[in-house]
């Protein structure tokens, strides 16, 4: 076994471990908030948010844009959206929020990249990162497919990735970048929105002393989808390093 392969496996294992730890920590946070502050069950909360119409949808979308802009993983955006609105509405809104945040960060990076000193300093800072090195080797063939592959492999939030692309790959069109980010994130976000609307809701109901049996089937389906997404992401990550 080569040293490079060992590094890839260790890195993949570390990322998987961090996802598990992050998921457990998020579950405890949801339980704590629900136990101390929630006054209604998950389904009632979702129904109230949906009944509030566009006003509530805009507020929640703004919250998700803020979360994504702070560099919080897209998985958490999906969980929050699924918890507050259910997976059917929450998933698309979370994807929309990530696309909007990524568009803003791409524009900032694109204009900041016109400063050669700042561009060179950023490139030097990232030069030791294997994902960045591999991505930059492929710049001559950039396009939709390039953005999809690299957005999945980059250990950054989609907006932060878009900032770097806007600065370091000026010839990549905005349409290729944003459509690639959407394609890379949409299934990922949808899977976690389902987790928020099932596992998250079960945690809320349990914290309130309410039955969570209605979510059992959705929880099993959610776990299966998240496992498949994790395997796909690990596979894409390793392929990107070969």
pLDDT tens figures, 129-166: 888 988 888 888 889 989 988 888 888 899 999 999 99
Mark the ranges of the chain whose per-residue pLDDT is less than 50.
1-12
Residue 179: the pLDDT is 95
Domain residue extents for the chain: 3-241
Residue 127: the pLDDT is 86
Cα(99)–Cα(28) distance, integer angstroms? 28
Residue 211: the pLDDT is 86
Task: Note whether 75 and 25 are within 8 A (CB).
Answer: no
Residue 134: the pLDDT is 85
Residue 187: the pLDDT is 83
Residue 59: the pLDDT is 92
Residue 47: the pLDDT is 92
């Amino acid at each position: 076994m080569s040293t490079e392969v060992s590094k890839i496996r260790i890195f993949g294992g570390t990322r998987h471990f961090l996802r598990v730890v992050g998921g457990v920590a998020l579950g405890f946070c949801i339980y704590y908030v629900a136990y101390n502050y929630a006054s209604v069950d998950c389904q009632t909360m979702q129904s109230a948010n949906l009944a509030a119409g566009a006003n509530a949808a805009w507020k929640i979308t703004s919250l998700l844009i803020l979360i994504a802009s702070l560099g919080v993983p897209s998985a958490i955006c999906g969980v929050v959206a699924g918890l507050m609105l259910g997976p059917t509405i929450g998933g698309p809104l979370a994807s929309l929020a990530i696309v909007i945040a990524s568009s803003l960060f791409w524009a900032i990076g694109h204009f900041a990249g016109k400063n050669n000193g700042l561009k060179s300093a950023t490139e030097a800072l990232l030069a030791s990162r294997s994902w960045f090195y591999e991505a930059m080797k492929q710049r001559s063939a950039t396009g939709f497919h390039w953005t999809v592959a690299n957005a999945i492999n980059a250990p950054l939030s989609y907006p932060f990735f878009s900032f770097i692309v806007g600065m370091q790959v000026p010839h990549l069109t905005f349409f290729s970048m944003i459509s690639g980010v959407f394609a890379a994130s949409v299934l990922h976000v949808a899977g976690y929105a389902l987790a928020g609307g099932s596992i998250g809701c079960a945690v809320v109901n349990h914290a309130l002393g309410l039955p969570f049996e209605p979510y059992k089937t959705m929880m099993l389906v959610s776990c299966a989808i998240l496992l498949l997404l994790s395997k796909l992401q690990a596979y894409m990550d390793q392929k990107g390093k070969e």
